[in-house]
């Protein structure tokens, strides 16, 4: 059986016809995990929910994104096509990660058309709950350098938590609800109903808490719809980061093309078998001798979709400009 390097050196195919979800957490524990942050609200969990998005913003924002995976992860990706389940992807990434992967063994980079749920110039550490719905934390919405003013959203979130604590706090209600005690009071509710109080009645109350939390979050997003829309999608117009990769959460995906690079994946999964599978799915594929070539291809896709010129065109324009300046200085027409 041919390994990747053997195969690509022998027959470079440029066109053809052609994961397991990491660190999931139960919703009954995820939404209560808000302690330990420097700011009161920074660890509050924000749902990246397609149904909520659709109700608040009916019009989709679609773009070409990429996802690093391996042979097994690619099978899961194929099954996700056209579904509401969300996926963590990117529009820019350093080439070395194509081979080593991010939570997979890498080697397979899928080019995808997807509906944008959220985009940011840095990894927003989004994590899925057990239903597949992804979540992020408020601290990742302030911007890479904390430049966004979220004071209006913070006030609305404080009101939401104060209402939830007043409604569901077990036993005698504290004299002061919310404020500097908010995080501790909210976690007390989570521990009481989601921890040792696993009774039938406790489970019912926990279900009501989660429903009220989701409804409350949707109300906060709807009230601040313009702000949230800008936070979630403005980066798509830029698509440039100085981080190792950016993060774009998408759903309703369609695989446009598959890109292959050398990786330890091919040490135990023969490359020929994988290409045969991709070909049977009628998905185009391409193999690369260097990760840098693929990195440049991805950057050019981002620039094309954002109306920017690729590097080579920029270089050509700059050369023509300098050439014209020299000719003018020498009096040459």
| Alpha-carbon gap, residue 128 to 22, rounded angstroms | 8
pLDDT of 298-331, one tens digit each? 999 999 999 886 655 555 555 566 667 667 777 7
pLDDT score for 17: 27
HSE-up of residue 267 (Cα within 13 Å, Cβ side): 6
Averaged pLDDT for residues 110-129: 91
Per-residue pLDDT band at 7 (split at 50, 70, 90): very low
Instruction: Check pLDDT > 50 for residue 115.
Output: yes
β-strands 62-69, 87-89 pairing: unpaired
Cβ distance 117 to 269 under 8 Å? no
pLDDT of 256-292, one tens digit each? 999 999 998 888 888 899 999 999 999 999 999 999 9
pLDDT score for 37: 61
pLDDT score for 290: 93
Measure CA 79 to chain center: 18
Q: 81: which 2 tokens? A: 């096509």
pLDDT score for 12: 37
Domain parsing of the chain, residue ranges: 4-301
Instruction: Check pLDDT > 90 for residue 146.
Output: no
Instruction: Check pLDDT > 60 for residue 148.
Output: yes
Task: Evaluate if pTM is beyond 0.85.
Answer: no
HSE-up of residue 194 (Cα within 13 Å, Cβ side): 22
């Amino acid at each position: 059986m041919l390994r990747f390097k053997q195969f690509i050196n022998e027959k470079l195919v440029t066109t053809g016809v052609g994961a397991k979800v990491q660190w999931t957490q139960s919703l009954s524990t995820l939404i209560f995990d808000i302690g330990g942050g420097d700011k009161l609200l920074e660890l509050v969990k924000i749902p990246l929910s397609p149904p909520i998005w659709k109700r608040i913003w009916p019009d989709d924002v679609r773009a070409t994104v990429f996802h690093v995976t391996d042979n097994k992860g690619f099978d899961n990706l194929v099954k996700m096509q056209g579904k509401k389940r969300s996926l963590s992807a990117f529009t820019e990434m350093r080439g070395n990660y194509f081979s080593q992967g991010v939570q997979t063994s890498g080697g397979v980079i899928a080019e995808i058309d997807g509906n944008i749920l959220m985009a940011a110039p840095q990894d927003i550490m989004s994590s899925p709950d057990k239903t597949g719905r992804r979540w992020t934390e408020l601290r990742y919405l302030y911007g890479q350098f904390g430049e966004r003013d979220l004071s209006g959203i913070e006030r609305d979130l404080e009101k939401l938590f104060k209402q939830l604590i007043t409604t569901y706090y077990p036993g005698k209600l504290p004299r002061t609800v919310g404020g500097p005690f908010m995080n501790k009071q909210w976690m007390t509710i989570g521990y009481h109903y989601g921890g040792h109080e696993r009774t039938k009645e406790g489970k019912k109350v926990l279900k009501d808490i989660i429903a009220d939390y989701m409804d409350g979050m949707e109300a906060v997003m709807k009230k601040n719809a313009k702000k949230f829309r800008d936070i979630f999608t403005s980066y798509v117009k830029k698509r440039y980061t100085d981080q190792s990769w950016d993060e774009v959460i998408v759903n309703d995906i369609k695989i446009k093309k598959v890109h292959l690079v050398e990786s330890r994946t091919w040490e135990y999964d023969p490359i020929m078998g994988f290409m045969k599978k991709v070909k049977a799915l009628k998905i185009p594929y391409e193999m690369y001798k260097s990760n840098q070539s693929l990195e440049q291809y991805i950057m050019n896709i981002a620039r094309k979709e954002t109306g920017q010129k690729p590097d080579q065109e920029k270089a050509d324009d700059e050369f023509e400009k300098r050439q014209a300046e020299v000719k003018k200085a020498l009096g040459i027409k």
